[in-house]
Amino acid sequence: MFGRLGAPEIILILVVIILLFGAKKLPDMARSLGKSARILKSEAKAMKDEGNNSSSAAQAPTTGEQTQAPRTIQASPGDVTSSRPVTEPTDTTKA
């Protein structure tokens, strides 16, 4: 439909993107896109591991109840502002 994109077309597209968004916002946009990709990847891996654990737990006989620690979602190593527990704590300040 569009054919193949060559180097001149790609350069033109990049120039238009820089003109539209500005050079200052592009690094921030790339950084937030990278964080989103890391979060998506970690969540997909957690869901896959959880599925494997539940299928193996269904096959193995259970002898007692197991308590699981709350799972924490981390955006990137060392980024403590974006890590949060999966289950949010309840508000105890209400009367």
What pTM, to 2 d.p., does this model score? 0.40
As a whole number of angstroms, the distance between CA 82 and CA 65 comes to 32
Which residues make Cβ contacts (< 8 Å) with residue 43, sequence separation at least 6?
73
- Encode pLDDT of 5-57 as tens digits: 888 999 999 889 888 888 788 888 889 999 999 999 999 999 988 878 776 65
End-to-end CA distance of the chain: 64
